[in-house]
Structure 1
Amino acid sequence: MQQRTENPVAMLSGPTAAGAWSLLTGGQDCVAPHAGRDPSREAAAAAVEILPGLGEAVRATEKFVARALRRALEQVGVRQVVHIGPGFPPPGGRPCTHHLVHAHAPQVRVVYVDSDPAVLACLRERCGRDAEAVSVVEADLRRPAELLAASGVDLGQPVAVVLANVLTFLPLEAAVPVMQDLIAPLALGSHVIVAEPMAGLLDEPVQAALNAMAARGAPAAYARTRPQMLELLAGLVLLEPGVYPVSFCLQDPLAPVPMVPVLGGVGWRGWDGWSP
């Protein structure tokens, strides 16, 4: 591992999911070139060649997460947020999750959880020093019980869990039990915010774009249909409007709505037939 200079990210020999996805939205300093190549940039470029709107889809997902978090904070009073698989901090001055949260409720505890060493280093450098209420934890989504324990959140109190374009790296047969184990210990009133690349939207070749990234060494990723998203959120009360493209979810009905190939949904840990 290269000694850190101004950039806290270690030199990598292959593309990473976090590096490629960051580059889709203009990230410049997330992954260092290796042996004259920039593998994450190559993976991102291959995806954009097939689906030019991927960068806008990532930005729309950020807006969806921001709206969903604001709803959890203001309408329900959630005071703990766990962002699983956040990837590198957004480029271009766009706010990190804790900036969004603390703009509405400065006392809320925000925990970033990731398993990528480069992401963890970057998050600690750029996000973890902003406030005492922010922490960065290494844990693996595939082991939900260990992840929740490492996060240090109080499972006796409601928590907002963010999973934006991270379950996509698990096949559905693995992602569903992971979600069940993640949801089961959460307190009543908890919110689970999920966004995933969408399969079948206007015949957009989303899976082909994800496959192009994987063909260049990035981790395999899977686009989801709406029924598959409902499987991931099983056991939760879906908040309106349910599972839809993120540009529609929690959107001002009078605002223009661009179509993006990402599905989003917010599940509430509560009683059937009642939602906040």
Structure 2
Amino acid sequence: MSVLVIEAAPVPYPWWLKFLGIVLFALGFAPLMQPTWYEIATTAVLGALAAALAVTADRVLRLHRFLPLTVSTAVSVVTIELFADNPAHGGPVLLMLPALFYFVPGDYLSAATAELAAGLITTGALRLVYSVFLLVQLYVGVLLGVLFTGSSPHALFDVAAHSDLPRWALFLAWIVFTAGTLLAFATPLRFFWPLLLLVYVTVGVQSALTKFAGETGSTFAAAATLIARGPRRPPRLILILPGFFTLAVGSLGMRGLTTLVGGYVEGSRTC
């Protein structure tokens, strides 16, 4: 099937389901940033703002071209003005990231790295440049939010608040995340259970092997390859997508850049 045919095909879900999917996607990811009820409540508002702009951009081509910049600017302004008034709630960077996560090119960065390692220089380099361009848009948008609100760049700290979420909420968050992934990225609903299984496998491996990050990626890739075998099972690309997001490759880079601008040298460890 050609690319033109795919692009011309009708979307599988109406706009309001994509809106809901982006919000659920952000809410499911929020506890990974800060396991607090405040983070979840803030993400519900900011995620709805980001989702509204995303579905609007599907109908307004000019907005779509600069969507990451527009969304990150709007989220940055609202976060600084409404939600970042108390350091006890955590840093503004951690409050912003879940709402911006849909636009962070973590999957592109991971794919570009794999392609370059495999010797696919042209496609890998193009994907890497495009990923960096998207990250720069998000980064500049956050800085514009600081500028528009008249805040100091030092406001961009990312110290996490004290956890107040029960363990069951952290466990259920990945179910919300997987449901949001299906709707936000137009994935058929029949793939929900295989994707949910792989999300929990990825999170479990990452938690168990936090000191050996390299093994996390290889273990997940092996699990995705095994489950992808067979004509009745989901395509490998669909299986891999949620796993890349749970590893949060792009969000770490975004978090590191913004905290460095804020004057916090620990941001260099995150980049």
Structure 1-normalised TM-score? 0.28
**Greater share of strand:** 1
Structure 2-normalised TM-score? 0.29
Higher relative contact order (CA 8 A, sep 6+): 2
